[in-house]
Amino acid sequence: MAIVTLTINDEHLSGNDSDSILTIARQHKIHIPTLCHLDGLSEVGACRLCLVEVEGSSKLTPACSTKPVEGMVLHTNTDRLQRYRRMIIELLASEGNHQCAVCVVNNHCELQNLSYEMNLQYVRFPYLYPKKELDASHKDFIIDRNRCILCTRCVRVCHEVEGAHVWDIAHRGIRCEIVSGLDDPWGDSEACTACGKCVLVCPVGALIEKGATVAEMEKKRDFLRYIVTARQKREWIDIHEEG
Amino acid sequence: MTIEDLRERAGEERERQGKWKRRILYCSAAGCVSCGSKETAESLKQSLKTGGMDTEVEVVGTGCMGLCGEGPLVKVHPDDVLYERVDTSAANAIVTSHMMRGEIVSDHLVDQTVPFFASQVKVVLENCGRINAESLDEYLAAGGYEALGKALGEMQPGEIIDEVRKSGLRGRGGAGYSTGLKWGIVQKAESDQKYVVCNADEGDPGAFMDRSVLEGDPHRILEGMVIAGYAVGAQQGYIYIRAEYPLAIERLRLAIKQAERNGLLGNKILDSNFSFRIDLRIGAGAFVCGEETALMRSIQGRRGRPKPRPPYPSERGLWEKPTLLNNVETFANIAPIIRNGSAWFAAIGTPKSTGTKVFALAGKIRNTGLIEVPMGIPLRTIIFDIGGGTTEGTEFKAAQTGGPSGGCIPSAHLDLPVDYESLAGIGSIMGSGGLIVMDSTSNMVDVAKYFMDFCVDESCGKCVPCRVGTAHIAGLLGKIVNKKATAEDIGLLEELCMMVKATSLCGLGQSAPNPVLSTLRFFRTEYEELLQPVEGFVPTNGERQETERPWP
């Protein structure tokens, strides 16, 4: 690990070269919007919201999965980036069947918050109105694929943290869907431990607790930080090995 | 087996071939097989037998002879006569007239002095249509594995990489990265295990270069890969080939078996201390698996989805090990470069784009087929001299290179030299070598929509711009085709295309808007003709959508 210095939005900063640009930016209170990224999970670079401009490179670079290089000069909020980010939110809005007014996570939704942040008030693309299924077969939780934005946080948390790998992606392109097991009802899944991690990491109202009503559900993601820190310190593993 | 044994076997094979009075070569690549070349071969053999000439004339199945639109093709050696459209009755005529009386059958004769043959330079395709693709001996007789012998016996890995670098060879998959530099990076990477991967997941509509090489000269790819393995320090190779190429898979399997049995693959290759294995991996039909990171995940048995680069495969590839990944045609160029030297290769083509390029001519062109031309040749020469112009006297309109990742080139740019930089300069790409010709009967908006529908189907769905963006681009194009769009939609279309191009995760999404952007650039009037006229049109700045589609 070494310290590198870099310039973000004309500000001279330093950070660890093993951290991502995104982490360093956030350490210095520079806001870069994200959806698929979540501290504690692996990076997939799928939502493209965290793209930044690197001087000397014609291509945009995802901040979440790029390591800093000494002397790097970055811009995180240019007009062009703002335009593209807005458009990404527009695309996501048009892709699913989102009805904020009747959504369980209304006012606690990352997609909604980003829309407010970018002052997006209407969508220029036609809504695609896909036919998606809701699965309420699980005893505690519901997956409503109409609201899914395919960030794959649930897939990753289940595989990487819980180790159950209940979730995965089926089909491809615009027909992609999150499925449990081999596209079986969630309630039939023998792998699912009902830990609820997937529900808590879901940025929107696609994965929710049963019994919650409109705007009631607020997702708490602190648990991930504790687990990841504990793992780094090997706390649980040692206890387990000794016991 | 040592290199001396190889040369001995090659000599024996040449002697065996020389003993025949004539040899009839018939094309047994997928194109000609589909129009009946197997039946042609059967009737050739039958007629020879009844005529009592089966001891004087040999009938051999070869790879692609190039003029695919006129198949089945048959070539007679040593007379160097080429026949086209040889059905079973023509086959009988060839035997009774040409073989028995020495009179050429003029009805089916192909004039080999025309530019289609004269303007080509064959490096990659030197053996295609000349040797039996299923015979190791014939490949040896044509100088096969000489380069491997030279590389293992006389050269150090660093010298091989220097030679490849000096040849100026660039990746033939489309992006055109220097092959020598890539090999150097993998060689320098420190690891206990390295891999060499051949990308044979050729998926562009209308492209069949890699298939033809694999069907016609599979040992050439193996030779190139073994040399690469020796140069970069890898012991394991994979060929990732699409399941839609059953004949190529069959011939590759056979070639691998032959090479293994003769000490050209496996342990201690050609009695050296170098060992290298090659395994086949069959794709399951996803276009995106031609993208290198998705391809490697697919080899590992995982879902074929790209991941962000860096790290590049040459640093962290298959199973996180340094991996050299090249296209079929790139590997096909290695043996001739080692055999003839980098200076010979660099003398072909242009200074920045050396060597030759194989193109698959398709669409409204007279001579549909497979050609190989030196880099830098004007597009006009390819289309009008080699290709014979458009069919039935219609007017040429555009040439499409690079498939769904490329662009359309209008007639104003026909004199453009075909090299990486020139094509990129006008918004197209070299691509893997598909070249589709369109005439005045083609509508360019339809063309753009066709390619965009392809991208919508083939998007893996991982990143938002490609997954949703391509669907909306296709939707907007559909609206234009159905004459329901306004000028505002064209503006939105352009904006969306630029955004998908700039923000997508992998090459598929980044290049998906190219067909739309290039047709908008060169054939904008065709779009505008389809627009709905709006009287006294005033841009609404989205006020309409504000009431239609409020969010959130």
Q: What is the ipTM of this complex?
A: 0.94
Tokens of A27: 């350490």
What is the reported pLDDT for A239? Answer: 47
CB contact under 8 A, B463 and A43: no
Please provide the DSSP assignment of A75-115 as one string: ESS-HHHHHHHHHHHHHHHHHS---GGG-TTTTS-HHHHHH
Average pLDDT of chain A is 92
What is the reported pLDDT for B395? Answer: 92
Selecting from B307, B458, B551 the residue whose C-beta is nearest the C-beta of A120 gives: B551
Measured between beta carbons, which residues in chain A are less than 8 angstroms from residue B513? none
What is the reported pLDDT for A241? Answer: 47
What is the reported pLDDT for A236? Answer: 58
What is the reported pLDDT for B380? Answer: 95
What is the reported pLDDT for B393? Answer: 78
Whether B34 is in a domain gets the answer yes
Q: Are residues B240 and B290 in the same domain?
A: yes
Whether B79 is in a domain gets the answer yes
Residue A154, pLDDT above cutoff 80: yes
Region B151-160 average pLDDT = 96
Whether B67 is in a domain gets the answer yes
Q: How many domains does chain B have?
A: 4
CB contact under 8 A, B468 and A95: yes
Q: Are residues B337 and B372 in the same domain?
A: no
Distance in Å, alpha carbon of B542 to nearest chain A alpha carbon: 7
In three-state form (DSSP H/G/I as H, E/B as E, the rest C), the secondary structure along B274-307 is CCEEEEEEECCCCHHHHCHHHHHHHHCCCCCCCC
Q: Are residues B89 and B31 in the same domain?
A: yes
Structural domain boundaries enclosing B430: 356-442
Contact B402, B454 (CB under 8 A): no
Measured between beta carbons, which residues in chain B are less than 8 angstroms from residue A125? 472, 475, 492, 496, 549
Q: Does A169 touch chain B (CB under 8 A)?
A: yes
Question: What percentage of chain A carries pLDDT values higher than 70?
Answer: 96
Residue B26, pLDDT above cutoff 80: yes
Region B150-172 average pLDDT = 96
What is the reported pLDDT for A95? Answer: 96
CATH (domain of B397) = 3.10.20.600
Measured between beta carbons, which residues in chain A are less than 8 angstroms from residue B461? 150, 169, 171-176
Region B309-335 average pLDDT = 95
Contact A164, A174 (CB under 8 A): no
Q: Are residues B436 and B455 in the same domain?
A: no
Element (H, E) at B543: helix B543-548
Question: What percentage of chain A carries pLDDT values higher than 90?
Answer: 85
CATH (domain of B498) = 1.20.1440.230
Topology of domain A95-235 in CATH is Alpha-Beta Plaits (3.30.70)
- Say which residue, A55 or B551, is predicted with more confidence: A55
Q: Are residues B373 and B477 in the same domain?
A: no
What is the reported pLDDT for A242? Answer: 42
Q: Are residues B149 and B259 in the same domain?
A: yes
Whether B535 is in a domain gets the answer no
CATH (domain of B204) = 3.40.50.11540
Q: Are residues B191 and B318 in the same domain?
A: yes
- pLDDT band per the 50, 70, 90 thresholds, residue A237: low
Residue B199, pLDDT above cutoff 90: yes
Domain termination site, one of B346, B373, B396: B346
Residue count (chain A): 243
Place of tokens 């997702």: A219
> CATH 3.30.70.20 residue ranges in chain A?
95-235
A76: nearest Cα among A53, A101, A109, A46: A53
What is the reported pLDDT for B535? Answer: 59
pLDDT digits (tens, 9 = 90+) for B383-410: 999 999 998 778 999 999 988 999 999 9
Q: Are residues B438 and B477 in the same domain?
A: no
pLDDT digits (tens, 9 = 90+) for B485-527: 998 899 999 999 999 999 999 999 999 999 999 999 999 999 9
Lowest mean pLDDT among A89-103, A218-232, B96-110, B360-374: A218-232
Q: Does A111 touch chain B (CB under 8 A)?
A: yes
Whether B267 is in a domain gets the answer yes
Q: Are residues B365 and B340 in the same domain?
A: no
What is the reported pLDDT for A243? Answer: 37
| Alpha helices by DSSP H, B135-217 | 136-141, 146-154, 157-167, 179-188, 209-216
Residue B547, pLDDT above cutoff 70: no
Distance between CA atoms of residues A90 and B388, nearest Å: 48
Selecting from B308, B472, B546 the residue whose C-beta is nearest the C-beta of A121 gives: B546
pLDDT digits (tens, 9 = 90+) for A14-30: 999 999 999 999 999 99
- B25: Cα within 13 Å, side-chain hemisphere: 24
Whether B119 is in a domain gets the answer no
Question: What percentage of chain B carries pLDDT values higher than 90?
Answer: 88
Cite the beta strand spans of B1-143 per DSSP E.
Answer: 22-27, 57-62, 74-77, 81-83, 109-110
Q: Are residues B423 and B471 in the same domain?
A: no
Selecting from B465, B503, B542 the residue whose C-beta is nearest the C-beta of A124 gives: B542
| Bond into B246 cis (ω within 30) | no
Q: Are residues B87 and B167 in the same domain?
A: no
Residue B358, pLDDT above cutoff 50: yes
> Which CA distances in Å does A134 have to A146, B363, B541?
7, 46, 37
Contact B53, B59 (CB under 8 A): no
Whether B314 is in a domain gets the answer yes
Q: Are residues B205 and B325 in the same domain?
A: yes
Which CATH architecture does the domain made up of A3-77 adopt? Roll (3.10)
Q: Which amino acid would we find at residue B175? A: A
- pLDDT band per the 50, 70, 90 thresholds, residue B537: low
Residue B539, pLDDT above cutoff 80: no
Contact B509, B394 (CB under 8 A): no
> CATH 3.10.20.740 residue ranges in chain A?
3-77
Region B146-168 average pLDDT = 96
